[in-house]
Structure 1
Amino acid sequence: MDNDSEASGSLTRRNYIRYGGTVVGAGLLAGCAGDDGAEEETPGTTGGSGNDSTETTNTEADPETTDSSGSYSVSMAPVGTVEFDRVPQNVMVYSLLYADMAVAYGHGDSVNALGFDADAGGNTLDAYYERLDGVSFDRSGLEQLNTGSGDVDVDKELVYELNSDLHLVDPCLVMSFDGWERSDVDEIRENVAPWFGNVYSREHGQPPEECRDEYEYYTLWELSERVGAVFGERERFEALQSVHDDLLGRINSDLPPRAERPTVATVIFMEETFYPSKLNAPGFARAHTRPLEATDAFADEDVTYETTYDYETMLEIDPDVILHTFGIASYYDVAHIRRTLEDHPVASDLTAVRNDRVYASGNPVQGPLMNLFQLEMTAKQLYPEQFGEWPEYENGDPYPEIPEEERLFDRQRVADIVVGEF
């Protein structure tokens, strides 16, 4: 293992990329730990439509049932069917996508914890919510589940202290944490509250071995449907799904011919090294890039979370566009990275650098609200002639203000859905 630690002194570079998120000032980003990001052999059971490039929701099998007493149940792998007597009011969350879902369904105030520094993750959410009137996420007083040490370390006693009535967390992810086994997960379910989450759909990565027989993969919007059902918010989900489907329809109708689409490299850049990822691979991590159907600059490469490229190798690949992951209100200052590449004798020859097409891209641990903005953002970055130019963006700023006539979805409609006025 590489012993070169990050600036935080808490993670090796290898783990930094493996966990897929910002560490400096941020702890671990949501839902990444334990998912290598490699395209590995799938678990014994796969479900959903994770390879669907449109990321629409399959609603043929209703995940929700309600009995005459008003109790209801919601089904999702790997947790199976979970029964609820009432809508959860005190919810433990680890991954950012589930915090975004809670906000989307009007239950952001039920969240009592995040798996990482709440301010860091909250900054990312704030960057998008700034453009939705009346929508916010109050992260004051939230507990941080991960201690931020070199390995992922969540204290079981803290889980007891929170005394949640739902753990909106993938139990298989928890089993990958130091000191946790299936018996610990079962103990918390029996003594505190159920688990409800699925995070390995992010990359279609391998869950722990003891989870593989019951695991299934879902699209982002299939996950969103199930979490919406947990919060008793089917109408809100359907309204948001309609906005999403309209946005995809608009994008799909205006895509240029394939021969005119750019080659696109999705990367993280640090310490003069590029860490690539696939543009069109399955998983909700690509729910904002896959529907754009651009040409993956790394399509012929064997890319895993351990893959690294130097300047010379990137110049051989020479993408038309570079998308820098975790670029919005995150640790990475993509404007500074762009200047670094412009000043380098080799990197300055990259087509994407010469044509000023190095962009701050989205967060792969995205919920439904984030996904709407990130789809719009990627459409503008890849196809400005069809969808309008993407404006300049400086690290830490909110999502840019787009003129109303150039927006690809209705902000006010989304805000109304979230606040319950629809």
Structure 2
Amino acid sequence: MSNDSWRDAAPTRRDTIKYGGAALGGGLLAGCTDNVGYSGADTEGNYSVTMAPVGTVEFEEAPERVVHYFPDYGDMAVALGHGDSVLSMGLPSRFHTTHYEELDGVSVDAESLTRLSDNGIDRELFYELDGDLHLIDPQWLINNSAFKLEESDIEEVGNTVAPFIGNTIFRRTDEWHDYRYYTLYEAFEKVAKIYQEQERFTQLKQFHDDVLADVQADLPPADDRPNALLTFAAANEPEAFYPYRVSDQGTNKKQFRDLGITDALADTGIEGLSTTERGQIDYETMLEVDPDSILIRGHENKSRAEFEDTVLAFMKDHGTASELTAVQNDMVFRGGPIYSGPLHHLFLLERYATGYFPETYSEELFDREELAAIVTGEE
């Protein structure tokens, strides 16, 4: 993986992907690097990508077998036409793929994905998957005690199987994440460089920018936009909720920020869910806040009607929940996926624009055929 030989076996395809000298010199997991841009090609056909916390990874060709944990990065691979490269997910059930059904020619075989996290993560699984690249933030793996992985495990896998690169972007509440964050499209651009799909990325970003500009041009005045309490509670009859902060700049709140939905927990002192913060709130606490709207994650496998017939129906019959303004006004929604990539985001933007502002947005907000043509390369 470096200029030094770490094994005697003949070079394999994954030997064409290696850590750059800066990353090796400071240790694989040394933390944030000051050099966060792309490095130019060292020789013809070679290129490198630099991303905190790992640093620089050098490539001779795009990876064909990529180990994933985060569905947001998996969605990026699909968007770039490389869904077939995705080997795994931390929890495949959290890789929501129904939106691909609306894009002709776009799909991913989610059933074939290996589950990484199952009462911990077995280090040997990385050897079995035998990927060309691990598109995973290694600090995420090390700092989640449930995974039961040590830094030495990740060092070994990175140096004897394939490099790690990636950044935890879905939330920004983890104390251990003391290195640079990336926006959705900053991270997406890195992934596009990995796959050598810069032109397709440029087209997708322009598509996103145009859709967002059209939506934001018609938004109601800021004073007429509701606040939201974002939570996680997967039960059909929820009594306790893990709170998130809408104001958190993580990528899974981008659709709410884009629509000007504000944080109902602002100035309450209630912290958002993180690796170490696992506190819950109940209906009494909710009633003290009394948000304009409530977003509940953990129900992405339900339709809107199914959600209303179960979760919302329970809340309407609950002695305390029924007093909430959001419940009385039918402003309780599914909260969206925990991990959302660029294709996810476009559909979520449409879902919440039409849900929050039905008098302004009532139809499809973007052209499915045009988007599918970019993804499939048939534009």
Per the shorter chain, which TM-score range? Answer: 0.7 to 0.9
Counterpart of 1:164, as a letter, is G
Choose from 216, 226, 229 the match for 2:180.
216
Between 234-243 and 67-76, the greater mean CA deviation after superposition: 67-76
Distance 1:45 1:146 in 2: 26
1:319 maps to a residue whose letter is P
For 1:75-114, list aligned pairs within 5 A: 75-114=50-89
TM-score, structure 2 normalization: 0.82
Give the corresponding residue for 2:307: 334
Q: Please list the CA deviations of residues 244-279 of structure 1 after superposition, one character each: whole Å capped at 9, or x if unmatched.
A: 111221222112112211122212234412332211
Question: 1:249 aligned to 2:221?
Answer: no
Fraction of identical pairs, as percent: 42
- C-alpha separation in 1, matches of 2:257 and 2:57: 31
Are positions 1:194 and 2:163 aligned together? yes
User: Which residue number in structure 2 is paired with residue 37 of structure 1?
Assistant: none
Matches of 2:371 and 2:33, distance apart in 1: 31
**2:280 paired with 1:312:** no
- Alignment-mate amino acid for residue 351 of structure 2: M
Change (3 A) 1:186 1:275: closer
Q: Determine which of 101, 110, 115 is the counterpart of 1:139.
A: 110
1:371 corresponding residue in structure 2 = 345
Unpaired segments ≥5 residues, structure 2: 1-30
Q: 1:64 to 1:370 in 2, by over 3 A?
A: farther
Report the alpha carbon displacement of residue 308 of structure 1 after superposing the two structures with TM.
2.7
Task: Say what the alpha-carbon RMSD is for the aligned residues.
Answer: 2.5
In structure 1, the partner of 2:20 is none
**Residue aligning to 2:7:** none
Q: Kindly tell me: are residues 47 and 328 of structure 1, through their superposed partners in 2, closer, same or farther at Cα, counting changes over 3 Å?
A: farther
1:1-33 residue CA offsets vs partner (Å, 9 max, x unmatched): xxxxxxxxxxxxxxxxxxxxxxxxxxxxxxxxx
Unaligned runs of 5+ in 1: 1-43, 49-60, 389-405
- Secondary structure in 2 matching 1:167: strand
**Greater alpha carbon shift after TM alignment, 333-342 vs 160-169:** 333-342
**Other-structure match for 2:356:** 382
Answer yes or no: is the 8 Å Cα contact 1:47–1:218 preserved in 2. no
Note the C-alpha offset of 1:412. 1.1
Specify whether residues 261 and 136 from structure 1 end up closer, same or farther in structure 2 by C-alpha distance, changes over 3 A only. Answer: same
Which residue of the partner structure matches residue 235 of structure 1? 199
Partner of residue 272 from structure 1, selected from 201, 214, 239: 239
Q: Is the aligned partner of 1:298 residue 2:271?
A: no
Q: Which residue among 139, 142, 153 is the counterpart of 1:184?
A: 153
- C-alpha contact (below 8 Å) 1:114/1:142 kept by paired residues: yes
In structure 1, how many angstroms separate the alpha carbons of the residues matched to 2:42 and 2:318? Answer: 65
Moved over 3 A (4+): 44-48, 205-208, 330-333
Residue 69 of structure 2 aligns with an amino acid whose one-letter code is Y
Q: Residue 129 of structure 1 is aligned with which of 100, 103, 108?
A: 100
Are the counterparts in 2 of residues 338 and 353 from structure 1 also a CA contact under 8 Å? yes
The one of 415, 418, 421 aligned to 2:372: 415
Partner residue of 1:360?
334
Residues of 1 paired with 2:112 and 2:347: CA distance? 27
In 2: Cα distance, 1:98 partner to 1:330 partner = 23
> CA offsets per residue over residues 79-109 of structure 1, 9 Å max, x none?
1111011110111111111111111111111
Aligned-pair CA distance for 1:287? 1.2
**Cα-to-partner distance string for 1:183-206 (whole Å, 9 max, x where unaligned):** 22222122111111111x322233
TM-score, normalisation: structure 1: 0.74
Answer with 1 or 2: which has the greater Rg. 2
Query: Cα 1:110–1:295, aligned 2, differ >3 Å: closer, same or farther?
Result: closer
Mapped partners of 1:229, 1:317: distance in 2: 44
Q: Closer, same or farther in 2 for the Cα pair 1:372/1:46, shift >3 Å?
A: farther
